[in-house]
Structures are given as structure tokens and as C-alpha cells.
């Protein structure tokens, strides 16, 4: 008797660009960094938390999509926070 099973692939779909609907996993702000993990999961971070946790994230990431270049400095804000 043959069981009716679906073929399963481990291929990963290409990541789409981050949108305003993508939110930081730490604080809920708009995400500008997607970290794809070795385990197959992903984490999203705002620019602030990406800078705060950047070095550790690089150690566990398979791929990092950084869209912080989409941000522009605001008037009166310090350049390097």
C-alpha cells in the first residue's frame, strides 16, 4: 500500500525586500535588517537593534539583508547613535 505523501524540499525561497509591515523582533519598530539563521529561521531588527546586536548576529547568520541605507538622517539628530 502506497501512502499519499507530498514531496518536500529544503530549498529556501529568495528573500523579498523588507516592507513597512516588517517589524523589529525586539521593539516592534520598522525592520531594516533581516538575519537568516542556520536553523532556517529569521530575525528582523530595526536599525537601532541591528547596531546593538550586530556583531553577535553576524556570528549566527547564514545571510544578512541590510536595508538601513533606506534611512536618511533627520535634522538635528546625531549622525552616529
Beta carbons within 10 angstroms of residue 61's beta carbon? 17
Q: Tens of pLDDT along 42-79?
A: 999 999 999 999 889 888 899 999 999 998 876 555 55
Q: What is the pLDDT at residue 4?
A: 54
Mean pLDDT, the chain, whole residue set: 81
pLDDT at 48: 95
User: Which residue's C-alpha cell is 556583531?
Assistant: 55
Would you state the cell numbers that stand for residue 52, as one nine-digit string?
A: 546593538
Q: Where are the domains of the chain?
A: 33-70
What average pLDDT score do residues 34-40 get?
92
Amino acid at each position: 500500500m502506497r501512502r499519499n505523501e507530498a514531496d518536500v524540499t529544503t530549498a529556501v525561497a529568495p528573500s523579498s525586500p523588507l516592507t513597512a509591515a516588517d517589524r523589529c523582533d525586539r521593539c516592534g519598530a520598522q525592520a531594516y535588517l533581516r538575519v537568516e539563521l542556520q536553523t532556517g529561521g529569521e530575525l528582523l531588527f530595526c536599525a537601532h537593534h541591528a547596531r546593538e546586536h550586530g556583531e553577535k548576529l553576524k556570528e549566527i547568520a547564514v545571510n544578512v539583508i541590510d536595508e538601513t541605507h533606506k534611512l536618511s538622517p533627520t535634522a538635528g539628530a546625531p549622525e552616529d547613535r
